[in-house]
Amino acid sequence: MSLLQVNDIHTYYGQSHVLHGMNLEVKPNEAVSLLGRNGAGKTTTIHSIMGLTPPREGDITFSGTAIQKKPPYQIFAHGIRIVPQGRRIIPTLSVEENMKLAAFQAVSKNQQEEIERVYEYFPILPERRRQKAGHLSGGERQMLAIARALLGKPQLILMDEPSEGLAPIIVREIAEIITKIKATGVSILLAEQNVKMALFASDRHYIIDQGTTKYTGSTQELETHPEILEEFLGISV
């Protein structure tokens, strides 16, 4: 049974037709990646699911409920969270204040207990709890963005380019955090250009181009057939 099912969605920016019949699914306790070149439609797919750029056609269901016409706050209430491209933390607030604001939005009954639970994934964050988020390193900002999304016990986290601008050692650390999150039963849909990270962190992959799915397969299949990555992405791993 699918947790998330995206069926034949068409999404536009004004008159520009970006997604052309996009299809994908995420199962419970699964990490899935969206791979593609710049402009392929990865971010638009994430935004369509979250209701930020609703599709004009097609269906999106989450736990059997249609969500394609719901506003983002209702999709959030269903248990879907987003880690947006560029982090989008509030730089003038401290780490703890960013977490408390997110905990309030996630309707956590015991905010501090929930925050401390999430801190266990990111040991550096409680050490920085009184520091302004704007003074964090890029990797620490990304950890804070992911930490906020974990508050309130989500079922699915949408991550948009979490490795962007990060050093390789930090990218590896973020990938390991993603696998730990998945191990707790949270599903993940990861839009990512770093193919090595995606192969490490995800179970299955969709290669998209010009707003439609060109290939879908497991990590093992892509590692066994690197020519697929060369054909669709122009890279080898």
Q: Tokens for 73?
A: 């706050």
Task: Say whether pLDDT at 82 is over 90.
Answer: yes
Domains plus CATH for the chain?
A: 1-79+164-237 (3.40.50.300), 87-154 (no CATH)
Residue type, 230: E
Task: Say whether pLDDT at 21 is over 80.
Answer: yes
Q: To which residue do tokens 């947006």 refer?
A: 84
Task: Say whether pLDDT at 36 is over 80.
Answer: yes
CA distances, 102 to each of 19, 44, 47, 90 (Å): 30, 24, 19, 11
Residue 132's pLDDT is 96
CA distances, 2 to each of 28, 29, 30, 222 (Å): 7, 10, 10, 22
Residues of the chain with pLDDT > 70, as a percent, come to 98
Task: Say whether pLDDT at 87 is over 90.
Answer: no
Residue 111's pLDDT is 86
Task: Calculate the dihedral angle through the C-alpha atoms of 92, 95, 97, 101, rounding to the nearest 10 degrees.
Answer: 100
Q: What is the pTM of this model?
A: 0.93
At 105, is the pLDDT very low, low, confident or very high (cuts 50, 70, 90)? confident
Task: Say whether pLDDT at 107 is over 80.
Answer: no
pLDDT, tens only, 138-174: 999 999 999 999 998 899 999 999 998 889 999 999 9
Task: Say whether pLDDT at 189 is over 80.
Answer: yes
Contact call for residues 164 and 85 (beta carbons, < 8 A):
yes
Determine the average pLDDT of the residues in 31-41. 94
Task: Say whether pLDDT at 236 is over 90.
Answer: no
CA 124 – CA 140 distance, rounded (Å): 8
Residue 60's pLDDT is 98
